[in-house]
Amino acid sequence: MTTDYQRHGTVAVITLNNPPVNAMNIATRTAFVDGIHKALNDDTVKAIVITGAGKVFSGGADIKEFNTPAMLAEPNLHMMIDAVENATKPVVAAIHTLCIGGGLELSLACHYRVATPSALCGLPEVQLGLLPGAGGTQRLPRAVGLERGLAMIVSGVPVEAEKLANTALFDQMINGDLLQDAITFAESIADARPLPKIRDISMDHANAEVILQTMRDKIAAKADTFPAPAKCVDAIAATLTQSFDEGIQLESQFFIELLLSPESKALREAFFSQRAAKKRDA
């Protein structure tokens, strides 16, 4: 199984279970969306909790699928995220240990998020010469603010959840039993309406242009400049001037451009080579 489905009273728990990092390949995406539909069609289910099996919430998209038909096969990552965001019952992400890339983008589409304080959250796509391609550039800045969102996406460095506890990214920090406390939280908001969506948060910052230009200058000053960081800034800038849907379209355009770039191809090849070397040395 790549995704487990269980009932805990009136709460359905959908667990990503694709070791070792719960990567969201086509099999996982299919089972996950089926689980969402099952919960929505069950009148006894009032809320849904999403979590990850093992030591990772989710490492995101399966990069082995990049440049293959499986990457866009339905349900793709966007469809998986839409199924969560458009759910008619509350969806709560229960985040632990590591939640990065598409895993964080999935969480950002949930109506609520709870996390262990030490959970590392981030969008590291820039380190592969890419940008977040499933709404990350549009949702994360809305959740944590322009400056934090910009820093996290351009650097690609994960941040501990407790450092983001005072933002719209998280509704509650959990120090005890994550799953049980997440189920209790889900029960407490089961009847809450309307369901909150990060996409509906308005972006406004008095010094937005200064912040964006400062980041662009930092990027331009680096000797080994790749196109991805600048594209990240351009996509994030759209949160201030364009609608959410327009920003998503721009993000998708940039993602494809970067995916096909020689710089990203070289970085992905280096990543796979390093991973293969680690397996040989293990």
Q: Is there a cis peptide before residue 20, judged by omega within 30 degrees of 0?
A: yes
Of 65, 85, 125, 251, the catalytic one is 125
Q: What is residue 113's three-state secondary structure?
A: strand
For 79, other C-beta atoms within 10 Å of its C-beta total 11
DSSP letter at 128 equals G
The arrangement of strands across the sheet holding 172-173 comes to 3-8, 11-16, 47-52, 91-95, 112-115, 172-173
Buried-exposed string 135-155: b where 16+ CB fall within 10 A, e elsewhere: bbbbbbbbbbbbebbbebbbb
125 annotated active-site: yes
With contact defined as beta carbons under 8 Å apart, do 66 and 101 qualify? Answer: no
Contacts of residue 61, Cβ cutoff 8 Å, sequence gap at least 6: 23, 24, 71, 77, 101, 102, 134
Q: Which residues are catalytic?
A: 105, 125
